Amino acid sequence: MKLNLYRLGVVVEMENGRATGDVQVANGHPRDEATAPKAAEAEPNGTPAQGQQTPRPRPPRRKKGPNYAQIHSKPLPLEVHPLPAFHPSNPISLLRLCYVYLSHILAPPTSHPSRSYKGHFSPDTRSIHVTDPAHIRALWEMGFFGKASLSRSEPTWLDRERARLKAEADGSRGVRAAEVVTNARREERRLFKLERARAEREKIERQRAVEQGLVSVVDASEPGPDATQELKADSDLAQTSPGVGELDNEAEGLIKKGVPMDVQLTEEVVVEPSVQVPSLRPDELVASLPNEPLPPSGRAANVPNSGQVNRDDENADEKERPDPNIQNQEHLQLTLEEAFFLSYALGVLQIKFPNNQQSPPSPLDLLTLFAKHASFPPYQLKKPRPLIPVPTLAVNSQPLHARAVSHAIATAPLVKDPTESSLRIPITAAPLTPQPSRLSTSQQLPAPDNQFLLNYVVYHHFRSLGWVIRPGLKFGADYMLYNRGPVFSHAEFAVIIMPSYTDPYWETRIGKAQRRVKGEKDWWWLHCVNRVQSQVKKTLVLCYVDVPAPNNGDVDVDVAGLLRKYRVREIVIRRWAVNRSRD
Amino acid sequence: MDDVDEDVIPRSGPPVEDIDLSEEFQDFRFLGTATGNDVKIPKRGEKDFEPHATALQSNTLATSRQAMHNALSFQRVHAPKGVALATFHPDSNMAYAYNPKGSPLFARMGQVFSKGEDPLGDDGLRGQRMWFLPEEVIYLVERGTVDLRWPATEDDEDERGLPMSLQAAYAMFLGEQQGLGALIQWYDPTDTHVPTAPQSPSNDAEIRVTYDVWKPGSATFKKSDHGPPDFRIAVVDARETTAPSLQQLSSLLATLPYEPSKTDAQLYQKLKHGYKNVILAIVDQGVVSYLRISDAAFGREKLYERAGRGPGAKRGGRGGRGRGRGR
């Protein structure tokens, strides 16, 4: 199937049946198509052309971060072939437009990469590992897929490690990877707090001294106005949100207050928290504020990820020769949803299975396999065959002793079935997710409320609308939604999936017994989640997924038909404060 | 990348719109200087976490306490002419008053029933008789606006009936309507509330809109002609019900009008506003929490079709404008 989306100026070729029913695949990001070539023209090397500028004194320029708009100009790892723009002032551009249009008709260009990205399925971690560095970068840059195993999310381990070794060797400055910036900021924040506590303590001591008459009021208040002003600025620091951005403002504010510039900018003042500052001259107080670690360009918080180290620095390659001793030990791990989206919906990922030389599995097989691994241990579709001949382990509902389990693992023969974890022990004889026992055909399919299926439906839904959707476990949610991507802006929405059993089937006795999610969430849970989200400035979205009834003997099942039966409805929850709603 | 978000988790507390002053400890010294009507909501002061044995601190604390005490001990007076008498009507579990005066609240509360609806029948005084719903009466009695009386009997020497205490009012009105433990909390004195109908919150599965709410400054509100409300509030019992299911929300939202945000609103505003919304008042034994539920239409906002950059999406790394062609 080929989709010609001339409205977007985009031709995307898709494989048969890859587009599903009520959720459409987002094919292109026209806005980025418009901006990316411009950026590329203006900055061929990633550095601005300033050659023809007249030499005039300019303030020292901030160190530039990478050009994210250019790096992440493609929203998905697909190639798009836009028609060239027609400029009425340049009639020849019409010819070019016609030429490209006709050539696209005669020989439609493919949107897929010449070689599929490769990943292999790891049953133990239940994720897909991508090890080829080129593929890792491609998947990260185009759509922000996956998480690097040794980094926060973007793969930066190798760069950080090189920079670290280099710094150890010649004592040069470190590298501005996201993790490094974060650590520096935390240290800075810790020093700031210590200093603030010290200043408050000093203030109280002085007040006590004044009250006890040890210090005359005149003496104490002689540096008074200035001192109190500085202290006030200090406590303002404490009051206004001491996020890093404000720290800069405050530091600039202090500079404006006429504190000597050399103190602010050149002197390397390192505060020893335990050292008592004997006198309380205001300039010293300010100087001892840990403003040194704030670089003039220190808006670290506003540069969400300074990313690939020195990527735009043209000298970077000469400076940093790859050290032959370092091997990249990092891989990209994709969640099952991401992998299935890349493989099924986009068709750009080829997943290999251990010890599996045969042709890639069909989408339905892949779906079934992933659904099976949505819970641990993976449920068995058929009667589980004992992997370990230790019958005493399958004790009926007796708690297993840890030693017994580890013994079983140690003595267990290696499992040859690649789809099963080698650590599987038949602890429970019954499958974790109850399967329909009557229907032989639907026995092959996962339960309709299987967690992988629900997650994938939601994942596909938001990806289709153009959101960058990433796991949100750290925020107590299922997914976070980013507009364009995490390097551009913070997530605004946190999604929690709510399985919803509205189909009459789920009200029957069998249906009720087969529900995976039993019992309702109470209001305390909802408030809990909502509070957390408003604390981190996210908006909670309850994503209700209407679970269809199980497939009743329909032999002709495909993934698109399966997914088409799900319905998604988003409900936004926010606290409502009466006081704030009066106008 | 979610860690980047994690790093800038605001450590200064919730955003401004989420601060509920009623949940904060305040420095009451502002009350000492408050005169007349120009009282502003105080700024929150610095918080001292421990006594540090200075006279300054203890003086500040004493001043603040004294200010609060003075404010609370201010003598409140009800002018005898201004008190409205209302009489309890046991059959309808409501109360009525004849031409109540003394408070601007009466312009917006209570109602005069038509001939067929008036529980006391169509006598000559029906036009002046204003009926109050149980929650309205309790609110007015708590405020001291209304002097509530038992119905007069022949034995009373005073034809106005015996005064009813606040406790008795609670007992009488609550005794009739079961499960209204949080009744007084439904009515927030800052807003003008008019019930759509005397509905009691249901304990069955269905969630219904219990109150229509108009803002206090609402220019369009008249008792005879309400106009569209500013908010709709559905009351639910936190202990008897669970977080809403899709069926409950669908049927609740189906009863609401279509109210999209302005067409020129920004993306995030549009999504948060939704195209239908209702406020849930979740009541747990008298404590109320309000949650605004809106039917967000993510499907209507296709990011890949949007020409401009989304809000908050900064220009990539380099920042600044005018870096494009022709420079």
* Ranges A70-79, B25-34, B175-184: which has the least confidence: B175-184
Predicted ipTM beyond 0.85: no
Q: Strand (E) positions, A26-181?
A: 117-122, 127-130, 147-148
**pLDDT tens, position by position, A355-380:** 666 677 888 889 988 998 888 787 76
Closest CB to A523 among B18, B282, B312: B282
Average pLDDT over residues A535-559: 87
Q: Residue B186: is its pLDDT beyond 70? A: no
Average pLDDT over residues A46-52: 41
Average pLDDT over residues A545-560: 82
In degrees and rounded to multiples of 5, residue A271 shows phi and psi of -90, 125
- pLDDT, residue A335, reads 94
Contact residues, chain B, for A484 at CB < 8 Å: 303, 309-310, 313
Average pLDDT over residues B152-180: 75
Identify residue A535 by its one-letter amino acid code. Q
Burial of B248 (0-12, 13-18, 19+ CB in 10 A): middle
Token digits for B168? 């008795």
Q: Which of residues 354-413 of A touch B (CB under 8 A)?
A: none
Q: Which of residues 216-255 of B touch A (CB under 8 A)?
A: 216-217, 230-231, 236, 238, 241-243, 245-247, 249-250
- pLDDT, residue A541, reads 96
- pLDDT, residue A331, reads 94
- What rounded mean pLDDT belongs to chain B? 74
- pLDDT, residue A57, reads 62
**pLDDT tens, position by position, A164-212:** 888 878 766 666 677 888 889 999 999 999 999 999 999 999 998 998 8
**pLDDT tens, position by position, B78-99:** 777 777 889 999 888 889 999 8
- pLDDT, residue A573, reads 95
Do B294 and A42 lie within an 8 Å CB cutoff?
Answer: no
Contact residues, chain A, for B26 at CB < 8 Å: none
Q: A13: which residues sit within 8 A by CB, 6+ positions away? A: A2, A3, A108, A109, A110, A111, A112
Average pLDDT over residues A530-539: 92
Residue A571: pLDDT band by 50, 70, 90 thresholds?
very high
Q: Strand (E) positions, A30-178?
A: 117-122, 127-130, 147-148
**pLDDT tens, position by position, A417-437:** 434 433 333 333 333 333 333
In degrees and rounded to multiples of 5, residue B186 shows phi and psi of -65, -30
Q: B296: which residues sit within 8 A by CB, 6+ positions away? A: A541, A570, A571, A572, B271, B272, B274
Q: Residue B229: is its pLDDT beyond 90? A: no
Residue that wins the pLDDT comparison between A322 and A123 = A123
- pLDDT, residue A232, reads 44
- pLDDT, residue A49, reads 40
Q: Which of residues 165-194 of B touch A (CB under 8 A)?
A: 188, 190-191
Chain A residue closest to B327 (CA)?
A: A42
Token digits for B260? 């999209």
Contact residues, chain A, for B324 at CB < 8 Å: 38-39, 42
Residue A491: pLDDT band by 50, 70, 90 thresholds?
very high
Between the ranges A182-196, B50-64, B142-156, where is the mean pLDDT highest? A182-196
Domains of chain B, earliest start first: 2-44+54-75 (no CATH), 84-174 (3.40.1170.20), 189-300 (no CATH)
Residue A445: pLDDT band by 50, 70, 90 thresholds?
confident
DSSP state of A269: -
Q: Which of residues 228-247 of A touch B (CB under 8 A)?
A: 235, 239-244
Domains of chain A, earliest start first: 69-106 (no CATH), 451-580 (3.40.1350.10)
- pLDDT, residue A59, reads 65
- What rounded mean pLDDT belongs to chain A? 70
DSSP state of B181: T
Closest CB to B14 among A526, A535, A571: A535
How close does chain B come to A200, measured CA to CA in Å? 11
- pLDDT, residue B48, reads 78
Whole-number percent of chain A with pLDDT over 70: 56
Catalytic residues of A: 482, 490, 538
Measured between its terminal Cα atoms, the distance across chain B in Å is: 34
Do A536 and B5 lie within an 8 Å CB cutoff?
Answer: yes
Q: Residue A336: is its pLDDT beyond 90? A: yes
In sequence order, what DSSP letters do the residues of A208-256 get, joined into one string? HHHHTTSS-HHHHHTTHHHHHHHHHHHHHHHHS---HHHHHHHHHHHHH
Average pLDDT over residues A477-497: 93
**pLDDT tens, position by position, A213-237:** 877 655 544 444 444 444 444 444 3
- pLDDT, residue B282, reads 92
Q: Residue B251: is its pLDDT beyond 80? A: yes
Do A239 and B46 lie within an 8 Å CB cutoff?
Answer: yes
Whole-number percent of chain B with pLDDT over 70: 68
Between the ranges A173-187, A288-302, B141-155, where is the mean pLDDT highest? B141-155
Residue that wins the pLDDT comparison between B216 and A203 = A203
- pLDDT, residue A287, reads 39
Q: Residue B168: is its pLDDT beyond 50? A: yes
Q: Residue A276: is its pLDDT beyond 50? A: no
